[in-house]
Amino acid sequence: MGRIIDWARNRSPWILHLNCGSCNGCDIETLDALMPRYDIERFGIQKKDTPRHADILVATGPVTKQMAPRLERIYEQMPEPKLVIAAGSCASTGGVFHDCYNCHEGVDDVIPVDMYLPGCPISPETLIDGIVKLLEESGQDAKAERLAEKKPEIVEEGTPIDEAVPKEPDADRTETDDAPQEGADEPEPVEV
């Protein structure tokens, strides 16, 4: 267990994004955070496709009745320590859909939520802010500090867009340009 915890402590959070009946506004803004202007990959934040490799679940949408069981199952499959972000008004309270017959009133109707992000939709900056605050609050201060150190680039209108794009048109931006995170190369399959 020790090795797993060390690995989890040392690298940046990996997020799993789940659309629970959203209009796609929050989803696109979440994906936008991966794009050159915001580029959360250079913080080591990666978007994962399976709950088994994710630290933070970013859920959007009011949670339609069809999605509720899937949301629960995905939450169950995430290994500890796991955190949940309800991104946007709909995920937080049901938003404009709170009184619709086929919707729940937000993600916390279905699973526990650790952080609520306001906005309709959220903006990519809000997501990054939210992740930093969440890590701080959940006691993962080292990670939060590391991320916060790099935040000013975005928040203070720092990096011009052109500089965020690689010089070679063929470069594939899947690597961060940091020193590799410890233990990030060979993720342990985390079956608890």
Q: Please state the closest distance from residue 124 (CB atom) to other proteins, in A.
A: 9
19 binds other proteins (CB under 8 A): yes
> Total binding residues for other proteins by CB under 8 A?
44
Q: Of 29-48, which residues contact other proteins (CB under 8 A)?
A: 29, 31-32, 35-37
Q: What sign results for the dihedral spanned by CA atoms 161, 163, 168, 174?
A: negative
Tell me if 187 sits within 8 A of 12, measured CB to CB: no
Q: What are the C-alpha distances in Å from 156 to residues 7, 54, 128, 152, 180?
A: 32, 29, 14, 5, 26
Q: Pick from 5, 6, 9, 73 the residue near other proteins by CB under 8 A.
A: 73
Q: How many CB atoms lie within 10 A of CB 173?
A: 15
Q: Of 103-142, which residues contact other proteins (CB under 8 A)?
A: 103, 120-121, 123
CA 152 to the chain's CA centroid: 19
Which residues of this protein are in contact with other proteins, per CB under 8 A? Answer: 19, 21-29, 31-32, 35-37, 49, 61-62, 64-66, 70, 73, 90, 95-97, 99-103, 120-121, 123, 161, 164-165, 169-174
